[in-house]
Amino acid sequence: MTFHQTLRRIALGHREGVAGTVYGTIVVMATLAAGSRGEDTHAWKLATVVAVTVLVLWVAHVYSHALAEGLRLGRQLKPREIAAVARQELPIALAAVAPVLALGLAQLGALEAQTAVWLALGIGVATLAFQGARYAELEHLGRLGRAVSISLNVGLGLAIVLLEASITH
């Protein structure tokens, strides 16, 4: 896999991991919306909260899926099988990479903190739109179907983020 392919996979996920990419992106966006404090936003603190939140949820997913797989098989999973579950769920954690890097730019002084938050949220919206387009392509939808798929994916993601933000603010 080339460097470009690796970056693309981290930023946009892959077909097999679309569920994790969408889930992780929504978690990241909701955490950003809940943790942002306008002009009082501390970029590094918010980046840490985003990263830890996503990592905790990733571990929870790995644990619950490994437990379910062990029960399904009727035996304890081997370490390589647990590692395979962890790789399968990795798109959840990878969804935080680009937004956390955007917040890191604010910590380095390259962006204002609030600009970095908006950039991170924009990355999330773009990721959700890309996943909607990916689904439309898979289903061979026309232009209208593609627009509906993208709109639904972005709209549902933003609705969840707005619900979270309205609860915490």
Rounded-to-integer distance, Cα 151 and Cα 144, Å: 10
Rounded-to-integer distance, Cα 56 and Cα 153, Å: 24
Q: Express each pLDDT in 152-162 by its tens digit.
A: 989 988 888 88
List the chain residues with pLDDT less than 50. Answer: none
Cα 6 vs. chain centroid, distance in angstroms? 16
Q: What is the pTM of this model?
A: 0.84
Question: How crowded is residue 86: how many other Cβ atoms within 10 Å of its Cβ?
Answer: 17
Q: Express each pLDDT in 24-46 by its tens digit.
A: 999 999 999 988 877 788 889 99
Q: Express each pLDDT in 97-106 by its tens digit.
A: 999 999 999 9
